[in-house]
Amino acid sequence: MRGLSLELQASIIKNLDAHDIFRLQQTCKSLNTLIEGNVEVWKACLKRHWHVEGLFWSSFNGLTKASEYKNACTGIQRFKRLCRTAKLSQIGKRRHLPAKVSGNPADESDSTGDEGSYALKNSYPGINSAYLVPGGRFLVTVEQAWLLLWDLLPLGKVGEPVVLLREKLDCNKGVKILDVLPLDGGRLRLVLNEPLPDGFPPSYNVDPSQYASRNDTKMLALHRFEIRLPENGDYTVQKLGRLCIAYLGYDDSQVAQGEHSIAVDISGCLLFWGSNDSSEEYTFWASYEDVDRSSIFIHQGYLFLVTRSSLGAINLSKLPRNPVKGGIVDIQCSYILRAPAKVEDVVTCEIDTELPEGDFGMGQILLPNPVPKAGTVKYDMELHHWGGEVAYKLYRMTFDFRPDAPAKSDLRLFGVLEDYDWCDDYISPRNRFECGGGDFGYIWEKTDGLQVVSVSIYGGDDKQF
């Protein structure tokens, strides 16, 4: 290295990860001097972290100094150390978040209630759902009939959040974020769910002849938006479409998004909603009998149905398409419809052989977001055992899909996290995140709300996983 020019040395160092750069700084004074104040070295290092972790580069807008880029590079390592040695309540400093929390909005300060719990001042009581953009700087919220994009300020700076975008929604006050899909180029695809207990608003121009109105008919509207967060700071929001749905049964629903389509699992019905250059299309069918399905995702042009022991795959290109008429789809007859395409179990993996005999129930399915466009898909599946003592286990699955020969695809059990019910009340995994270097973690919360939130980190040296 010493025989090379400073420019060439810096060019080589920019291709190292943060850990190797730190070790190189310790070898000699001249390399430490070259690295420590070099903006390009730390910016390139952060760029690699951004790519590996799936962060939004716009989260780092405003950084100019080498020390700022270095601090952002080392944030993940500091967070992992703190998670391994401290409780979540001891990590970092409190930030101003526009979150809906307990307490009286009129309170002027935080107060401590019974059993040490906190009743926090809520400056934004109208927010009913939120999504934190990967990178930790931007927050998307739905506040009554408004879609808002907040800047929570760069890492290390403290202050009130700033509204960057405000989009008026042609919706009622009950609309919530149902799903968010991060895409390349600093884009977010949002699906909002709007329950319509009083029927479709006149402004939606729904043709009443396109659906059957019954006493038990339920109605909702799905709204699609795209938020762009480019590096140059020219942030925009665009409405992509709306679909009104008439259905029967329960209200829970989930969504799997593709680049130009979504699949909706609602009240025992699978609904596919896509678009081409000139119109919107749909198809729907009943859920499959004797299939313990818990989640869905789109990957390599297929819709996958996750079960306890297998994955079912539907080739979306073979689905028949119907034009959306009158802005509505009526799925009230879905229970009599069979699948419009063959469903095949791609592969079967027995994963509960080590559990004692008894009844099992599926809990959370933790899918990556976004699901990779190609290559291996890793997901986590929670199983509950109620025979005798309650047991909770989280199974880590890996799936390699072969669209040319689906039956030869490979679904494997990668590892098991056992008996993680280490709180007085049952906690459930809500999110899984990657930390780089093979490490990963989980965010857990109580099933009765956000009263207790905890973080755990796992790595290659852990016995579990």
Instruction: Supply the DSSP string of 193-240, one letter for each residue.
Output: EEE-TT---GGG---GGGS---TT-EEEEEEEEEEE--TTS--EEEEE
- pLDDT tens digits for 104-151? 433 434 444 444 444 445 566 678 888 989 888 899 999 878 999 999
Distance in angstroms (rounded) separating the CA atoms of residues 340 and 284: 8
pLDDT at 422: 45
Mean pLDDT of 59-64: 88
Instruction: Tell me the mean pLDDT in the region 223-235.
Output: 92
CA–CA gap between residue 237 and residue 149 (Å, rounded): 9
What per-residue confidence (pLDDT) applies to 349?
53
Instruction: Give the per-residue pLDDT at 114.
Output: 44
* pLDDT confidence tier of residue 165, bands split at 50, 70 and 90: very high
CA proximity to 127, closest of 141, 138, 107 = 141
Bigger pLDDT: 115 vs 161: 161
pLDDT (0 to 100) of residue 344: 55
Q: Report whether pLDDT(5) > 90.
A: no
Token pair for residue 219?
A: 């109605």
Where residue 342 falls among pLDDT bands split at 50, 70, 90?
Answer: low
pLDDT of 293 above 60: no
pLDDT class for 444, splitting at 50, 70, 90? Answer: confident
The predicted model scores a pTM of: 0.83
Which one is predicted more confidently, 68 or 455? Answer: 68
Copy the structure tokens of residue 8.
């060439």
| Per-residue pLDDT at 424 | 45
Cα 240 to Cα 143, 222, 280, 298: the distances in Å are: 20, 11, 11, 19
Mean pLDDT of 382-405: 76
Of 146, 147, 39, whose CA–CA distance to 138 is shortest? 147
Residue 318: the pLDDT is 81
What is the model's pLDDT at position 440? 77
| Calpha distance 199→216 (Å, rounded) | 12
What confidence score (pLDDT) does residue 41 get?
A: 93
In angstroms, the CA 267 to CA 248 distance is: 7
**Res. 269: pLDDT tops 70:** yes
Strand order in the sheet with 176-183: 176-183, 187-195, 218-228, 236-247, 328-330
CA dist 431 and 51 (Å) reads: 19
The residue-averaged pLDDT of 40-48 equals: 91
- Whether the upstream peptide bond of residue 370 has omega within 30° of 0, thus cis, is yes
Q: What angle do CA 444, 445, 446 make, to 5 degrees?
A: 140
Q: Is the pLDDT higher at 260 or at 99?
A: 260
pLDDT class of 51 with cuts at 50, 70, 90: confident
pLDDT of 385 > 70? The answer is no
Residue carrying structure tokens 């506040």: 143
Those residues whose C-beta lies under 8 Å from the C-beta of residue 135, and which sit 6 or more positions away, are 50, 55, 56, 57, 58, 59, 60
Average pLDDT over residues 277-296: 69
Give residue for tokens 């993680």: 420
* Domains (range + CATH), the chain: 6-84 (1.20.1280)
The predicted-structure confidence for 353-382, as pLDDT tens digits, reads as follows 454 455 666 778 889 888 888 899 989 888
Task: Please provide the average confidence, as pLDDT, over all residues in the chain.
Answer: 78
Q: Is the pLDDT of residue 242 over 50?
A: yes
**Segment among 79-83, 209-213, 236-240, 449-453 with least mean pLDDT:** 449-453
